[in-house]
Amino acid sequence: MKVVVVGSGVAGLLAAVKASRQHQVTLITKDVLGESNTHYAQGGIAAVTATDDSIAEHVADTIYAGAGLCWEPAVQALCEQGPHSLNELIRFGVDFDRAEAAAAAEHGTEYALGLEAAHSHARILHVGGDATGAGISNALVTTLRRSNVTVLEHTLVTDLILENHKVAGVSVFSSDGLQDIPAEVVILASGGAGQLYRHTTNPAVTTGDGVAIALRAGAVLADLEFYQFHPTALAVPGSFLISEAVRGEGAVLINNRGERFMQRVHPMAELAPRDVVARAIQQEMLAQGGEPVMLDATGLGAEFLKQRFPGISAACRTYGLNLGKQPIPVTPAAHYWMGGVATDVYGRSSIPGLFAVGEVACNGSHGANRLASNSLLESLVFADRATDVLDQPWPNEFEFARFHDQPPMRELEIDLGYDSNSPVVDRVELQTIMWDNVGLAREDLDLRQARNNFKAWRPQKRSLRLFTDFEDANLLDLAKAVTSAALARTESRGAHYRLDFPETNPNYARPITVRKA
Ligand code: SIN
């Protein structure tokens, strides 16, 4: 069977390697192999390896962070299959950091385990201190290069090709121009859309291309209103991520009066769920005229910081900051999209032949707010599960079990049309509107204004498009979709906080789905 994999983060690399054992696989990536969110992941990968931890506790922590919107079968699959996925990575050559003898004996595992927000146990494995993503990505790229997968770099997938409502291939754009690549199966693994926002921890490639092409092809999307903002990006241009693991080791957040403020916000203080910490920081920043808050890691000792967080320490130094000697300025930034292409627990979407795995997908395992370090795990587990069923017949009448358990509270159909006389979309302006109006805290008026702004733009004419023009067109479609979903959810839950509806409505613990009109 001909299989096209789109994207080369952990989900795409693993899916391509595994699928190539039985199928003819082409992996398409718009930059170089491995350039993705995965590559920059610091904190690590959550999975149960310690004897004093349990799958049931990992499931419970994931569901608590997910604020009532996780779909339990997906969470079970994620946490149960986690240890198997780790072992597979180890076989591919990933060298996770080891624990010192005393800690290894205490927890019954040879691996060094980090703690991050909302985890009841230290269970985060890491590589090279804070270079986990690069460690995993490099091992998988090496494995892929030895396989028989055909790799197309610097190639952008612009659209899905459907025949009789089934996947028949993809259209791509590269320096050779536009061409079609036929395939019976397409696995989207193209990551998130941090570039929707003015401030993001994500690299430049994260323009949500996979979600946008699925939307245009008619796929069902879900949970788009839930965008996770990481609480602690360095307050410098580029929003360099300061891993939650730094707080996990004991760093604290202070305001400009030198006071710790998280203790009065949540019993877990700096390790409360991410949405809680991010909003608390935003509040403190508002109260101090927009000035960033400070992350104080000095209590951990300069030597420990250099050895446990070599990448972060080095990045701070490039901005003239010494992590071991002074508090550093931090601010929230867009980090991870819980929403995406709606799938079942095998990554199957509503379009026969179209799979989605990793951040591009929404299978219900993260709910309204992803638990820290569950994303690399999700990519691995669901890429693996998808490749197990590639040649199984697509269910005749595809139905999402999730939507039986959690019938959607709204099924939106959104208009992607535009007036051909309108001005061409401006990416920086779009990102600014998303940050200001569809960011950490939203309300009706701002959301409507944002939607009107997006409707007043058009994408660049197809015949004139450059790579970035295709990306801008994708961002425009997604901005409309996210804003519509955020308007429709008239409550606050997880990462979606409505100033005009600050309470959680227990009747709304159900997804909102979006498809094109
Ligand atoms: C971090 O290192 O704080 C990011 C980890 C994650 O997003 O899961």
517 residues of the chain, pLDDT tens digit each:
999 999 999 999 999 999 999 999 999 999 999 888 889 988 899 999 999 999 999 999 999 999 999 999 999 999 999 999 999 999 999 999 999 999 999 999 999 999 988 899 999 999 999 999 999 999 999 999 999 999 999 999 999 999 999 999 999 999 999 999 999 999 999 999 999 999 999 999 999 999 999 999 999 999 999 999 999 999 999 999 999 999 999 999 999 999 999 999 999 999 998 999 999 999 999 999 999 999 999 999 999 999 999 999 999 999 999 999 999 999 999 999 999 999 999 999 999 999 999 999 999 999 999 999 999 999 999 999 999 999 999 886 556 778 888 899 999 999 999 999 999 999 999 999 999 999 999 999 999 999 999 999 999 988 778 999 999 999 999 999 999 999 999 999 999 999 999 999 999 999 999 999 9
Which ligand 1 atom is the nearest neighbour of the CA of 242?
3
The per-residue pLDDT for 273 is 87
DSSP-derived secondary structure letter, 257: T
Residue 222 CA to residue 392 CA, distance in Å, equals 24
Give bridge partners of residue 98 from the DSSP assignment.
111
338 CB near ligand 1 (under 6 Å)? no
Residue 162 CA to residue 160 CA, distance in Å, equals 6
What Å distances lie between residue 381 and 210, 325, 347, CA to CA? 19, 40, 10
- Report CA(444)–ligand 1 centroid distance (Å): 30
For residue 58, give the H/E element and its range: helix 55-65
Q: Which of 123, 198, 247, 274 is catalytic?
A: 274
Alpha helices in 319-396 (DSSP H): 375-388
The per-residue pLDDT for 267 is 95
255 CB near ligand 1 (under 6 Å)? no
The per-residue pLDDT for 399 is 64
Q: Write down how long the chain is.
A: 517
Q: What is the CA radius of gyration of the chain?
A: 22
Sign of the four-CA dihedral 122, 128, 130, 134: negative
- Which residue of 10, 37, 42 sits with most ligand 1 atoms within 8 Å of its CB, as the best mutation to test the pocket? 42
61 CB near ligand 1 (under 6 Å)? no
| Packed helices 72-91 and 375-388: angle between N→C axes, nearest 10 degrees | 90
Question: 27 phi and psi, to 5 degrees?
Answer: -105, 125
- Report CA(245)–ligand 1 centroid distance (Å): 8
- Report CA(243)–ligand 1 centroid distance (Å): 6
CB 508 within 8 A of CB 491: yes
228 CB near ligand 1 (under 6 Å)? no
Question: 512 phi and psi, to 5 degrees?
Answer: -110, 130
CB 193 within 8 A of CB 207: yes
For residue 157, give the H/E element and its range: strand 156-163
pTM of the entire structure? 0.96
Burial class (CB in 10 A: 0-12, 13-18, 19+), 460: middle
Give bridge partners of residue 514 from the DSSP assignment.
221, 412
- Report CA(275)–ligand 1 centroid distance (Å): 13
Question: 464 phi and psi, to 5 degrees?
Answer: -100, 0
The per-residue pLDDT for 448 is 98
245 CB near ligand 1 (under 6 Å)? yes
What Å distances lie between residue 370 and 118, 185, 274, 376, CA to CA? 10, 28, 8, 11
The per-residue pLDDT for 396 is 64
In the block, which residue shows the tokens 């929230």?
Answer: 332
Burial class (CB in 10 A: 0-12, 13-18, 19+), 428: exposed
* Residue 436: strand, helix, or coil: helix
Number of H helices, E strands in the chain: 16, 20
375 CB near ligand 1 (under 6 Å)? yes
- Report CA(119)–ligand 1 centroid distance (Å): 12
The reply to whether 465 belongs to the active site is no
43 CB near ligand 1 (under 6 Å)? yes
